[in-house]
Amino acid sequence: MALKSTIFKAELTVSDLDRHHFATHSLTLARHPSETDERMMVRLLAFALNADEALEFGRGLSSEDEPDLVKKDLTGAIDLWIDVGLPDERDVRKAAGRARHVKVYTYGGRSAAMWWTQNEAALQRLGNVAVIEIPEAATESVSARAERSMRIDCTIQEGGLWLSQGGETLHFEPVTLKAAR
């Protein structure tokens, strides 16, 4: 018998002063049995950093060749493809061919640094790909906040991110390893 995903609900209020996006998003996150709270919460952070009414969670771990988050335009073409973790460089290259913009959110401290060292040269050639690292201390802190039902306020300003949940606030700055051209 296959294990089923665990469902998490999040009410995410985003005040993105950099992109002028202000909205509350009611989200349902399906956490795959092999997915950690840390990875799931990084997916939530990636959503907050790119929040849009058209952005939605993909099938991610349960399906290869699928993004963790995707935004399609009105014609169905992929405008934004987001991968979380340490994807294979070939998969990022395929995504770059299928989408206008690709963002990879890495996390994991030392393993993310090793992944970047191994893939930097190949990814630098892809003009529509951005690679952003979420600091290890931030992912550890947000993973400790994972609950089946969450209410999170997120403010983004000048590249910094403030997350407030249950009276506690976390601040960090994602590190851009590679910007898209």
Using alpha carbons, select from 143, 133, 150 the residue that is nearest to residue 38: 143
Full DSSP string of 68-118: SEEEE-TTS-EEEEEEES---HHHHHHHHHHEEEEEEEE-STHHHHHHHHH
pLDDT tens, residue by residue, 34-66: 899 999 999 999 999 999 999 999 876 556 779
pLDDT in tens, 121-179: 999 999 999 999 999 999 999 999 999 999 999 999 999 999 999 999 999 999 999 99
Domains defined along the chain, listed by start: 6-178 (3.10.640.10)
How much is the pTM?
Answer: 0.95
